[in-house]
């Protein structure tokens, strides 16, 4: 099957989010507090707050734990601000 670019609409505007902002947005979409997320991940509420407010780097292990709890791929958190637009 040949794909014709004319058959597709251009995607809408993207937003830039830090990993912390993405975690907060995903957490709020679930209706969870930071304490709820802490209970699901084993990461302290204080650390979750620090990550959400971009005061500390998220790190691989935290990203994996948070992604599992939030039902997303870790890359959705780690590379929340990725754009392939030049």
CA 47 to chain centre: 16
Q: Is a pLDDT exceeding 80 seen at residue 12?
A: no
Q: What is the pLDDT of residue 37?
A: 98
pLDDT tens digits along 46-72: 999 999 999 999 889 999 999 999 999
Phi, psi of 8 (to 5 degrees): -120, 150
Q: What is the pLDDT of residue 45?
A: 98
pLDDT tens digits along 23-53: 999 999 999 999 999 999 999 999 999 999 9
> pTM here?
0.76
Q: Are 23 and 38 in contact (CB under 8 A)?
A: no
Q: What is the pLDDT of residue 83?
A: 59
What is the domain partition of the chain in residue ranges?
17-78
For residue 65, give the 3-state DSSP assignment.
Answer: helix
Phi, psi of 24 (to 5 degrees): -60, -45
CA 33 to chain centre: 16
CATH superfamily of 17-78: lambda repressor-like DNA-binding domains (1.10.260.40)
């Amino acid at each position: 099957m040949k794909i014709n670019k004319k058959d597709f609409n251009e995607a809408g505007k993207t937003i830039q989010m830090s990993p912390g902002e993405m975690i907060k947005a995903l957490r709020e979409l679930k209706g969870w507090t930071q304490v709820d997320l802490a209970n699901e991940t084993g990461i302290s509420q204080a650390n979750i707050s620090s990550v959400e407010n971009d005061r500390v780097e998220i790190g691989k292990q935290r990203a994996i734990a948070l992604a599992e709890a939030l039902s997303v791929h870790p890359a959705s958190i780690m590379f929340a601000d990725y754009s392939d637009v030049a």
